[in-house]
Amino acid sequence: MTIQDAVSELGNFLGERLVRSKAELEAHGRSETHFPLTPPDAVAYPHDTAEVAQIARICARHGCPIVGWGAGTSLEGGNLAARGGVVVDFARMNRLIEVSAADMDCRVQPGLRREALNTELRATGLFFPVDPGADAALGGMAMTRASGTTAVRYGTMRDNVRGLEVVLADGRVIRTGSRARKSSAGYDLTGLFVGSEGTLGLVTELTLRLYGLPEAVAAATCAFPAMGPAVETVIATIQNCIPMARIEFVDGQSVAAFNRAAGAGLPEAPHLMVEFHGTESGVAEDAARFAEIADEYGARDIQRAHLPEDRNRLWKMRHHAYWSILQSRPGATAIVTDICVPISRMAEAVEETQADIAASQIAGPILGHVGDGNFHAVLMARPDDPADLAAARAIAARMAERALRLGGTVTGEHGIGMGKLEYMQAEHGEAWAVMGDIKRVLDPANVMNPGKVVPQP
């Protein structure tokens, strides 16, 4: 009963779809951020749910860890095999199974990426709005409860997964949810699995909610003299029921990185980037009311992005922020923080964080989804400089503490992964033990992504 026994039995079962080459293991041990290389013992490429169930049964028999893998875009190492074992890569389970236009939903396999889904949907007039920036796989997005720039309007994966097919640790296959838009029939297992980071089972199919492509879209950027008035603008916009589809905050340092990497030519001051979805007259009215509010709070340089290509450039720039910022410190690695606070405390949270970073030896541009109270500091460190890394970790820890003090959470959308387990007790108290109880009853041998999310045995 060892990992090697499991790998050997899996090899007999999957043939060349169980891969153990150094290159493949390293490709599945690499993180987008600062985590050290953590290669698994093997990578499996199942074709269907029945194969995933058989993989689970084999791993259960040998006590071998199983970790799901989508597009490899996790920022917290949620997809790294912290205790070795088998990575199940869903690259060959990446189909759009079915679209129902009347029900505005679709069924997909977990390896399908969000951009590919939206490309396939184009002819239907529908789209899937959740947009974490990276071209992530939908299974991985569900497992980290991903969100991103559009959550303020369309919600997170919690709100947009209607149902799941899940392979449990013992190989049983269950279906959660239904095609109905709502249900009161028992516990919300869909919601329990979404955000569980693969610790309770492997998702093999998702039913996703879709939306009609808006008839009209309007976008704009505007600069502010400081962070505070930008946040006040957002609060006032929400309270006036102006429906924003996106509302992003970026600080002056982030804008500087955009200017360098994408020739944005923006003033190097705090900015809001906003988008409205609706009818032609509706978005015009929304944009005008927003501009009035922003103006009251001292906004300058309000620039409308009239053409689709202008908007694409705007959001591409925002999506590439992490890479643009990293480029500003060649050779640097980064700890990307992800706290989310009540929006009434956001200005305070950002200002304290900015002061903390300014007093340190490292750089850390700040940007985030201000409509949700969620923001990121990209804390850059030279990977070979222990003092840099220590400074980044200390700032991240103080941000986590600050988020909790202000009534928020240590992660708005990136998940716990390998990076945030140490904050779970402080965030949840006794409720963290309850999460551990649920994990134990569904995965008593602790083979599903061990080392993550719950208290460790």
Site for a second copy in 146-175 (CB under 8 A): 146-147, 151, 155-156, 158-159, 168, 172-175
Q: How far is the CB of 350 from a second copy (least distance, A)?
A: 14
| From 4-12, 35-43, 183-191, 378-386, span contacting a second copy (CB under 8 A) | 183-191
Residue 168 or 390: the one with the smaller Cβ distance to a second copy is: 168
User: Per-residue x/- marks for a second copy, 57-86, CB under 8 A?
Assistant: ------------------------------
- Tell whether residue 384 is a contact of a second copy (CB under 8 A): no
23-62 positions binding a second copy, by CB under 8 A: none
Tokens at 331, concatenated: 């050779």
Residue 427 touching a second copy (CB under 8 A): yes
Distance of closest approach, residue 188 Cβ to a second copy, in angstroms: 5
Residue nearer to a second copy on the CB measure, 26 or 215: 215
Q: Is the distance from CB of 17 to CB of 46 less than 8 angstroms?
A: yes
* Pairwise CA distance, residues 48 & 59, whole Å: 17
Interface residue with a second copy among 16, 22, 187, 330 (CB under 8 A) is 187
Of the pair 117, 340, the CB lying nearest a second copy is at: 340
The least CB distance from residue 373 to a second copy, in Å, is: 6
Q: Which stretch binds a second copy (CB under 8 A): 7-15, 27-35, 90-98, 207-215?
A: 207-215
Instruction: By CB under 8 A, tell whether 111 contacts a second copy.
Output: no
Stretch 331-360: interaction string toward a second copy, x if CB under 8 A: -------x-xxxxx----------------
Return the DSSP state at 312.
Answer: H
| DSSP-derived 3-state class of residue 216 | strand
Size of the site for a second copy (CB under 8 A): 92
Q: Which of residues 266-295 bind a second copy (CB under 8 A)?
A: 278-279, 281-282, 285
377: number of Cβ within 10 Å: 28
Angle between helices 346-358 and 227-239 (to 10 degrees): 160
For residue 84, is it left (φ>0), alpha (ψ between -120 and 50) or beta? left
Interface pattern 392-421 for a second copy (x via CB under 8 A) = -----------x---xxxxxxxxxx---x-
Q: Is 442 in the site for a second copy (CB under 8 A)?
A: yes
Task: Closer to a second copy by CB, 27 or 189: give it.
Answer: 189
Q: Which two tokens mark 83?
A: 């205790």
| DSSP string of 353-404, one letter each residue | HHHHHHTSSS---EEEEGGGTEEEEEEEE-TT-HHHHHHHHHHHHHHHHHHH
Contact call for residues 349 and 375 (beta carbons, < 8 A): yes
If one asks whether residue 22 binds a second copy (CB under 8 A), the answer comes out as no
Q: Smallest distance, Å, CB 163 to a second copy?
A: 10
Listed in sequence order, the residues at least 6 apart from 150 whose beta carbon sits closer than 8 Å to its beta carbon are: 129, 130, 131, 245, 246
The DSSP call for residue 300 is E
Is 178 near a second copy (CB under 8 A)? yes
Beta strand pairing status for 300-305 and 216-223?
A: antiparallel
Q: Is 235 in the site for a second copy (CB under 8 A)?
A: yes
The secondary structure of residue 411, as a DSSP letter, is B
Stretch that binds a second copy, among 61-69, 99-107, 302-310, 379-387 (CB under 8 A): 99-107
The CA distance from 112 to 96, in Å, is 7
Any contact of residue 98 with a second copy (CB under 8 A)? no
- Please, what is the minimum distance in Å from the beta carbon of residue 191 to a second copy? 3
Judge whether 199 and 83 are in contact, CB under 8 Å.
Answer: no
Min dist CB 176 to a second copy, Å, is 6
Nearest to 146 by CA among 421, 32, 155: 155
**Is the Cβ–Cβ distance between 211 and 127 less than 8 Å?**
yes
Q: Treating both helix axes as pointing N-terminal to C-terminal, what angle do 308-319 and 252-262 enclose, rounded to 10 degrees?
A: 110
Interacting positions 124-143 with a second copy (CB under 8 A): 125
- Taken in order 393, 134, 275, 312, the sign of the CA dihedral is positive
